Structure 1
Amino acid sequence: MKSNEVFSGLHDIGELAKKMIQMKYHITYDLVYLLVELALVLPVATATVKRSFSVMKFIKTDLRNNIGDNFLTNALAFYVEKDIFASVENEEILQRFQAMGPRRCQLPATGKKK
């Protein structure tokens, strides 16, 4: 690739990946392209893992140290995606929970109407 002038003006690895696809070199040099792809994805994946462990520190305290995997996964999902869950109205959650099956009593309405 050093001898090819098309690749001489590239400034970062993202441009290299785009140029390889344009020139169809991602088919010819598939292992090289996989390494370039890995180099592009690795920082994002590492940040996601670090964020998950940081969140786990808040969820899994000494008092809740023996919680099961299913509960921990659900709690982490709620904590990480709290912006999405903040947009869901409490009334919708209560209605869905009540509709899941018979309850000993009806849950009270929150009083907020849309």
Structure 2
Amino acid sequence: MLSTAELALAVVVVAALTFACRLAPFVLLRGRRSDLVDFLSRTMPLGVMVVLIAYTLDGVGADPAGGVPALAGIAATAGLHLWRRQIGLSLVGGTGVYVLASLLLG
């Protein structure tokens, strides 16, 4: 069994490694431009959104209590993003619409 100090140390080490792994690509690619980086900067946002939509719709059936909130949340997120181009607004607004629709239909 780990002591409290050992557990705290493990959490700090894991957090530091996670932060370093997330920071490394930005540090390593700073000031460097390539065709690959340009391509990824153009295509990754759309790719990430496609994956998120697929994940959201996974397991959603024809039941209105499951499908309607998911589709409403996706539509609200896309609409807000097209309107304002602010990721925070899009995520919060889409999530809010999803939760509200889930509460009303659930």
Question: Normalised by the shorter chain, which TM-score bucket?
Answer: under 0.3
* TM-score using structure 2 length: 0.27
Structure with more of its chain in helix, by fraction: 2
The structure, 1 or 2, with the larger RCO (C-alpha pairs under 8 Å, 6+ apart) is 2
* TM-score using structure 1 length: 0.26
